[in-house]
Amino acid sequence: MADQISGAVFLSYASQDADAARRICTALRAAGIEVWFDQSELRGGDAWDQSIRRQIHDCALLATPPGPPAV
């Protein structure tokens, strides 16, 4: 499944920002934007490293949601 998606927005995020990233993914998809989001694209047994690298290479846009400000 993950290997078939290209030209999508690749949503990269820190694990502590997973909830915010999920909300952003949902909003982008609701707006008709194709999003590659690991939690919905990767499955157990997938070659996740290879899939992620391929999607980063093929994505139309790499989006990194802002996390909390650095102290």
d(CA 32, CA 50): 26
Other beta carbons within 10 angstroms of residue 71's beta carbon come to 3
Decide if 58 contacts 9 (C-beta within 8 A): no
Q: Taking the complete model, does pTM exceed 0.75, yes or no?
A: no
Nearest to 37 by CA among 50, 49, 54, 55: 55
Predicted local confidence at residue 1, as pLDDT = 46
Predicted local confidence at residue 43, as pLDDT = 72
What stretches in the chain show pLDDT beneath 70?
Answer: 1-7, 67-71
Q: List, for residues 27-36, the tens digit of each pLDDT value.
A: 999 999 999 8
CA 47 distance to own-chain centroid: 16
Decide if 53 contacts 46 (C-beta within 8 A): no
